[in-house]
Amino acid sequence: MKVLVNNKEVKTGASTLSQLIEELALPTQGIAIAVDNHIVLRTEWPKYALREYMSIIIIKAACGG
């Protein structure tokens, strides 16, 4: 299936947000995810089903001053 991750088309075999994060080799801590402009709680990632062409925004925390 194809989904949009940070406005880029990504082909994935993942069926949930947790699987997608693992497939993209992203850390599970220090990131936030919004799907179709709605924040998804980390506790919901394992059961949050992906759909074709859904828009996923991944925001990584950054240190700075």
What domains, with CATH codes, occur in the chain?
2-60 (3.10.20.30)
What one-letter code names the amino acid at 9? E
d(CA 33, CA 37): 9
**C-beta separation of 52 from 59 below 8 A:** no
Evaluate if residue 65 carries a pLDDT over 70: no
Q: Is 80 exceeded by the pLDDT of residue 46?
A: yes
Q: What is the pLDDT of residues 5-15, one digit of tens each?
A: 999 999 999 99
Cα–Cα separations (whole angstroms), residue 61 to 11, 28, 31, 43, 47: 25, 11, 6, 18, 23
**Mean residue pLDDT across the chain:** 95
Using CB atoms within 10 Å of the CB of residue 56, give its burial: 0 to 12 exposed, 13 to 18 middle, 19+ buried: buried
